[in-house]
A and B are shown apart, each in its own frame.
Chain A
Amino acid sequence: AQKVTQAQTEISVVEKEDVTLDCVYETRDTTYYLFWYKQPPSGELVFLIRRNSFDEQNEISGRYSWNFQKSTSSFNFTITASQVVDSAVYFCALRERVGNQFYFGTGTSLTVIP
């Protein structure tokens, strides 16, 4: 079963619009870690944010913000005033307390149209 679900396969927005990428996860662990990575067309995976399960404080970094809600097992990512350079595939990932592997969602392909 998929531990991380990104229901939005592809999203297209016009430049300067806001966009929210959804991420829903599933785990029985009480301690876990959530991540967002960006994969631009060049292919590398760029780390964006890490959030611990015991820290539900939302975070803002420039045009990026993250909304972590344990009650709904969601960790959504919002880009404000999107730019063409934001076009990429965005992956949400989960790491449980036990084990070393990341469980990735299937990714959301974001296209920002100029």
Chain B
Amino acid sequence: AAGVIQSPRHLIKEKRETATLKCYPIPRHDTVYWYQQGPGQDPQFLISFYEKMQSDKGSIPDRFSAQQFSDYHSELNMSSLELGDSALYFCASSKGLAGARDTQYFGPGTRLTVL
């Protein structure tokens, strides 16, 4: 079965640079979530989109922005990168139906390293 696709899988950036992470949800899933997992930490919710509209916002820094496109893929844009942004970024998707929507399927993650 098709899973959530994230690209790139690894990314190395310098401080103050920008980065764009991409997420392609499972086919027919209309909801996308972004999480940040620091070293040895649990995943922290950043933001989510349902039908291309922002549906919930967590601890996403103002330097980050995200959007969901008409094909339901999502991009997380990160500017003025800081050393503390080094983390594993997960995208998850779910289907917007009652009940089934509650299970989020995670992608493999993008490991961002800021030097």
Whether B106 and A95, one on each chain, are in contact in the complex, defined by CB atoms closer than 8 angstroms, is no
Range of interface residues on A (Cβ < 8 Å): 20 to 34
Docked complex Cα distance between A91 and B90 (Å) = 14
With A47-B103, A91-B43 known to touch, is A101 a contact of B108 (CB < 8 Å)? no
Interface SS of chain B:
strand
With A43-B88, A43-B109, A43-B111 known to touch, is A102 a contact of B103 (CB < 8 Å)? no
A61 contacts chain B at the CB level, 8 A cutoff: no
Instruction: List the interface of chain A (C-beta within 8 A of B).
Output: 33, 35, 37, 42-47, 50, 52, 91, 95, 99-107
Q: What are 8 A-B pairs with beta-carbon distances under 8 A? A: A43-B108, A44-B107, A91-B42, A100-B55, A101-B48, A101-B58, A102-B45, A103-B45
